[in-house]
């Protein structure tokens, strides 16, 4: 009769790198976000950090990057695993270079995938999660047009290059967002960033633990209104 | 638990493996993720031993669709495939490699048809019963395996060196694969025949891939399989062995690495 604990003690596991689930937060920090909106967004980011950190598998698998956009596009945080993610405190000022910001986020996603492939790391479809309270401002119409075309080319059922989500805060031009992204944009109820980030971390949890064929059922958003 | 065990043909003595040419231990256990979501185990397995011929047939399926129905899809596919292979073997063993491939492709097709029938009978879309399927036949002379989707079939000859007969078919992303109901499933079916006697086999679902295989090349990790092969080879009481395998699949070391359903079917040739 074999010792009941023998399998657990004797079977050794293959050392594969943890699969990764990349997520870019693309955050509008233009002047109109000043005051209550940017404060609520910063609080929401801290909720995101805390929720992911409590989730042992997600904190090793989810990789978070933060890009802010106003008159300049800034990579506030390049990809880090969620256990090393520290929520930044963002300031609001300037115009809304949304097109350039989208290109930056999509470039980062492509580069990250290349890095995963080069290192034999398995990965999940990347997410770009854009939050804005306005519309493109201060850049050429071409910039947003090209960015929108790139989203449409990447985020579809054939290519599946990325999943691009747009969230509009009060004042956002929802019609522009509808044209921009493949997926219907979602309007944030008030400044309920906390609920939104709780939903995002729950979704990241679901994605990062999904094995090949589970349908990733995301919790229904309690923070979104009908657009 | 939707796992199905088929122990032998009529006349085979249930509960004892002494007289069988193969010792088989298999378990499907619910992942912690599914348990949290109150979903049933969506993996299924089935196997049969032909004593006189010394042949083992095994099928493992991993259901993917909506919760309860995925388990049905996996059970229907693994049962139908097992029956089809056993029917095909009842007269003569296939004479050559292409006949073996035909046999396993035919069984995979029957599994797909069973899934479609089940979906039709319940009035649900086929996608609700999406499932993968891995099939293995081991005779005293060879081992043949076929697979649609992820998971893998691993075999070891007397020298103990484990080789993957099939490997996980995954897309660019880890959470994408081919299912029986996928439009190109039969074209994507993997098939491999190992023209030598095998001493040990393992068939498992994707929940164990990262632990059992060196990815992305999907090379079997020897120190994973060696103790398991030794365990099944030495197993005496089938129920106790299955309980031990289940306990292993539920143990914290495994659960820290995967919260998916996992199925592991192990077999060792006796003598």
| ipTM for the whole complex | 0.84
With contact defined as beta carbons under 8 Å apart, do B138 and B179 qualify?
A: no
Q: Evaluate whether residue A155 is within a structural domain.
A: yes
Query: Which chain A residues touch B253 with a CB distance below 8 Å?
Result: 8, 13
Q: Which residue has the higher pLDDT, B121 or B91?
A: B121
What's the whole-number average pLDDT of chain B?
A: 88
* C-alpha dihedral, B71 to B75 to B78 to B83, nearest 10°: -170
Interface with A, mutate which of B173, B214, B218 (most A CBs under 10 A): B173
Total domain count, chain A: 1
User: Please, which residues 7-26 of chain B have a Cβ atom closer than 8 Å to chain A?
Assistant: none
Coil, helix or strand for B239?
helix
Q: Evaluate whether residue A32 is within a structural domain.
A: yes
Interface membership of B67 toward A (CB under 8 Å): no
Which range marks the domain in which residue A31 is found?
19-124+146-213
Query: pLDDT band at B33, cuts 50/70/90?
Result: low
Rounded to an integer, what distance in angstroms lies between the CA atom of residue B204 and that of residue B136?
11
Interacting residues of B167 by C-beta distance below 8 A, sequence separation 6+: B152, B190, B213, B218
Query: Which chain B residues touch A2 with a CB distance below 8 Å?
Result: 231, 234-235, 244
| Mean per-residue pLDDT pooled into runs of 10, chain A (227 residues) | 69 91 95 94 92 84 95 97 95 96 97 93 91 92 96 88 90 92 86 81 72 47 58
Q: Evaluate whether residue A133 is within a structural domain.
A: no
* CB-CB under 8 Å, B227 with A13: no
Write out pLDDT tens, residues B170-216: 778 877 788 999 888 999 999 999 999 999 999 999 889 999 999 88
Rounded to an integer, what distance in angstroms lies between the CA atom of residue B39 and that of residue A20?
25
Interface membership of A119 toward B (CB under 8 Å): no
Q: Evaluate whether residue A54 is within a structural domain.
A: yes
Measure CA B115 to chain center: 17
Q: Using CB atoms, which residue from B63, B210, B247 is nearest to A4?
A: B247
pLDDT at B37 over 60: no
Q: Using CB atoms, which residue from A8, A56, A123 is nearest to B253?
A: A8
Return the pLDDT at A207: 72
Return the pLDDT at A193: 83
Query: pLDDT band at B96, cuts 50/70/90?
Result: very high
Return the pLDDT at B65: 56
Return the pLDDT at A19: 87
Q: Which among B69, B229, B61, B249 has a CA at the least distance from the CA of B151?
A: B61
Q: Evaluate whether residue A109 is within a structural domain.
A: yes
Q: Quick one: closest CA in A to B64, which residue? A: A213
Task: Give the domain CATH number at A150.
Answer: 3.40.50.410
Interface membership of A129 toward B (CB under 8 Å): no
Q: Evaluate whether residue A49 is within a structural domain.
A: yes
CA atoms within 13 A on the CB side of B149: 32
Q: Using CB atoms, which residue from B175, B215, B257 is nearest to A120?
A: B215
Residue with tokens 């090393």: A84
Return the pLDDT at B76: 96
Coil, helix or strand for A31?
helix
Rounded to the nearest angstrom, the minimum Cα separation between A60 and chain B is 11
* CB-CB under 8 Å, B223 with A212: no
Q: Which among A87, A99, A150, A155 has a CA at the least distance from the CA of A126?
A: A155
Rounded to the nearest angstrom, the minimum Cα separation between A148 and chain B is 23
Return the pLDDT at B87: 96
Whole-prediction pTM: 0.80
With contact defined as beta carbons under 8 Å apart, do B163 and B154 qualify?
A: yes
Interface membership of B227 toward A (CB under 8 Å): yes
Interface membership of B179 toward A (CB under 8 Å): yes
Q: Evaluate whether residue A224 is within a structural domain.
A: no
Q: Evaluate whether residue A171 is within a structural domain.
A: yes
Q: Which residue has the higher pLDDT, B145 or A160?
A: B145
Return the pLDDT at B1: 34
Return the pLDDT at A103: 98
What is the token pair recorded at B194?
């190992």
Q: DSSP assignment, residue A123?
A: B
CA distances in angstroms from A152 to A128, A162, A175, A216, listed in the order given? 13, 10, 16, 22
């Amino acid at each position: 009769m074999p010792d009941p604990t023998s399998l657990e003690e004797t079977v050794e596991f293959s050392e594969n790198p943890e699969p990764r689930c990349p997520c870019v937060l693309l955050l509008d920090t233009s002047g109109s976000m000043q005051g209550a909106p940017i404060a609520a967004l910063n609080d929401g980011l801290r909720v995101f950090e805390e929720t992911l950190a409590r989730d042992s598998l997600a904190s090793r698998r989810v990789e978070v990057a933060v890009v802010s956009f106003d008159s300049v596009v800034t990579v506030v945080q390049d990809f880090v695993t969620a256990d090393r993610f520290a929520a930044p405190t963002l300031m609001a000022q300037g115009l809304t270079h949304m097109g350039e910001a989208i290109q930056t986020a999509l470039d980062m996603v492509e580069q990250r995938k290349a890095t995963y492939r080069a290192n034999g790391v398995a990965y999940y479809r990347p997410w770009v999660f854009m939050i804005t309270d306005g519309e493109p401002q201060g850049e050429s119409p071409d910039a947003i047009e090209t960015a929108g075309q790139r989203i449409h080319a990447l985020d579809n059922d054939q290519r599946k290059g990325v999943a691009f989500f747009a969230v509009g805060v009060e004042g956002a031009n929802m019609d522009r967002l509808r044209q921009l992204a493949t997926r219907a944009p979602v309007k944030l109820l008030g400044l309920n960033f906390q609920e939104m980030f709780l939903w995002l971390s729950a979704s990241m949890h679901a994605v990062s633990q999904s094995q090949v064929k589970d349908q990733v059922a995301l919790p229904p958003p309690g923070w979104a209104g009908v657009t | 638990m939707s796992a199905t065990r088929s122990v032998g043909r009529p006349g085979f003595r249930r509960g004892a493996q002494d007289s069988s040419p193969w010792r088989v231990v298999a378990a499907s256990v619910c992942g912690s993720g599914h348990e949290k979501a109150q979903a049933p185990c969506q993996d299924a397995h089935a196997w049969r031993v032909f004593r006189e011929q010394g042949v083992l047939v095994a099928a493992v399926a991993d259901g993917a669709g909506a919760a309860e129905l995925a388990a049905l899809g996996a059970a229907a596919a693994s049962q139908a495939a097992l029956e089809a292979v056993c029917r095909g073997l009842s007269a003569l063993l296939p004479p050559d490699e292409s006949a073996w491939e035909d046999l396993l492709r035919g069984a995979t097709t029957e599994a797909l048809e069973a899934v479609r029938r089940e979906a039709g009978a319940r009035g649900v879309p086929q996608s609700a019963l999406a499932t993968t399927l891995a099939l293995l036949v081991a005779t005293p002379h060879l081992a043949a395996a076929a697979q649609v989707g992820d998971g893998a079939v691993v075999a070891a000859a007397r020298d103990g060196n484990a080789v993957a007969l099939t490997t996980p078919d995954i897309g660019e992303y880890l959470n994408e694969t081919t299912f029986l109901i996928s439009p190109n499933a039969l074209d994507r079916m993997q098939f491999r025949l190992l023209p030598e006697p095998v001493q040990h086999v393992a068939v498992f679902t994707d929940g164990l891939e990262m632990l059992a295989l060196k990815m992305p090349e999907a090379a079997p990790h020897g120190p994973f399989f060696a103790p398991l092969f030794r365990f099944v080879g030495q197993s005496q009481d089938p129920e106790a062995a299955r309980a031990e395998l289940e306990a292993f699949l539920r143990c914290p070391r495994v659960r820290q690495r995967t919260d998916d359903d996992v199925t592991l079917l192990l077999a060792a040739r006796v003598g």
